[in-house]
Amino acid sequence: MENVLRPLIVVGGSVVLTLLIGWATDRLLRKADERQTETPLWGLLRQGRVPYQLVLCAALLRGSYDQADLLREQRVAVGRILTLVLIGATAWLIVRIAVAIVDTSYSRYARAHRDPARVRRVRTQVSLIQRVVAAVVGVVAVAAMLLTFPAMRAAGASLLASAGVLGIVAGVAAQSTLANMFAGFQIAFGDMVRMGDTVVVDGEWGTVDEITLTFLSVRTWDERRITMPVSYFTSKPFENWSRGGAQMTGIVYWHLDHTAPLEAMREKLRDLLRDCPAWDGRACDLCVTDATPSTIEVRALVTAKDADDVWKVRVQIREGMIRWLTEHHPYALPRVNTADAALPPGTEEPPTRQPRRAHEPPRTAGRT
């Protein structure tokens, strides 16, 4: 009877105690989250309750398994499995806590600063820090798991002796990967490009959607995703429209007739901009920038708070001005001139040939 009750008490007690401690900790975190709504830390820490309970259960079972007197022949194997579970759960919990702390710090910074460019820069750095912490913790956890095996500890000396050669070989084999990794650090902390920036790469206009240690994703205006190595942004030129601020200046061109009413167009441009919510009110201008024998080039300059709004302003101004010209000043639109050409001074104008009537017979040379 004792052989049955002891394992049940040890294993069941460990599970019950784990559930009780986990429930109590979750209740405390929930109350703290309700009292301090200005910080998301406690709510984010609650997301780590699964690895937290797994750490508690593995630790309790690992400490009390010898008293259970269960599976004596496999005691060493079961103890090693519990140790591996404990190491993995601890690494999982550490990553969860680190993510919660970093996200909380970013939320506070975003609320305290109103500059979108600085907020995007910190967001890029925070994302990179989270990935680095997860990678470091994962490598340490795997190393700790391997060291639990005696064979791995015995082979440690030989591995350390060949670490230099392996490092050289790995560096040569993973040259592009290491280059992208260092480029990721350079982008994150060098403030070259940030998540949310509007960029133009290889002729494609889009918004930076994701930055990792090895690649960068750009979301285009038609919802496509362009994925490229981060080393591209450190080795080739690209356009960053959000660098130094998100405000943008847009240009609209029209090719019109020489008789276009420029003053009336300037007044109409101001009226159209007043009715356009995307215009930020900073500047507007209309002038003639070029002239050809048949048309003139009229340019309108408008401003907006970001790239999306400046696109909206441009299309609305272009459409509204063309509609207004069509309805009120159709003569200002481009047209083909069919008038007779003016002769140089002193040239006699040739006589105008009268058209022949339809019923008149053709004249012949010998008819009188």
Q: Which domains does the chain have, with CATH numbers?
A: 2-112 (no CATH), 248-332 (3.30.70.100)
Q: Is the pLDDT of residue 321 over 90?
A: yes
pLDDT in the model for residue 210: 79
Specify the pLDDT at position 61. Answer: 77
For the segment 67-84, the average pLDDT, to the nearest whole number, is 68
Q: What is the pLDDT of residues 151-166, one digit of tens each?
A: 665 554 454 445 454 4
Closest CA to 277 of 307, 305, 318, 241: 305
pLDDT of residue 292 exceeding 50, the answer is yes
The mean-pLDDT minimum among 21-30, 115-124, 301-310 falls in: 115-124
- Indicate the length of the chain as a whole number: 368
pLDDT at 132 over 80: no
Q: Which of 31-35, 225-229, 260-264 has the highest mean pLDDT?
A: 260-264
Confidence of residue 167 (pLDDT cuts 50, 70, 90): low
Averaged pLDDT score across all residues of the chain: 75
**pLDDT number for residue 249:** 84
- Give me the mean pLDDT over the 131-158 stretch: 72
- Decide if pLDDT at 297 tops 90: yes
pLDDT of res. 281 = 85
**The pLDDT of residue 368 is above 50:** no
Are 224 and 214 contacting, i.e. CB atoms less than 8 angstroms apart?
no
- Amino acid type, 167: G
Sign of CA dihedral 131, 100, 122, 208: positive
* Count of Cβ atoms closer than 10 Å to residue 53 Cβ: 20
- The per-residue pLDDT for range 214-248, each reduced to its tens digit, is 778 888 877 888 888 877 777 777 777 776 666 78
pLDDT score of 69: 57
Report for 76-80, 218-222, 272-276: range of highest mean pLDDT = 272-276
State the pLDDT at residue 229: 80
Q: Is 279 helix (H, G, I), strand (E, B) or coil?
A: strand
Residue 361 has pLDDT above 70, yes or no: no
* Mean pLDDT of all residues in 166-192: 57
Q: Which of 287, 278, 281 is nearest to 254 (CA)?
A: 287
- The model's confidence at residue 300, banded by pLDDT at 50, 70 and 90, is very high
Range in 38-42, 149-153, 257-261, 363-367 the model is least confident about: 363-367
d(CA 172, CA 363): 97
Of 36-45, 149-158, 299-308, minimum mean pLDDT range: 149-158
- Which three-class secondary structure string do you get for 69-137? CCCCCCHHHHHHHHHHHHHHHHHHHHHHHHHHHHHHHHHHHHHHCCCHHHHHHHHHHHHHHHHHHHHHH
- As a whole number, mean pLDDT of residues 194-202 equals 80
For range 322-344, the mean pLDDT: 80
pLDDT the model gives residue 256: 92
Measuring CA to CA, how many Å separate 164 from each of 156, 158, 159, 182, 234?
14, 11, 9, 21, 29
Rounded to two decimals, what is the model's pTM? 0.45
pLDDT (0 to 100) of residue 218: 87
CA distance 232 to 214: 11
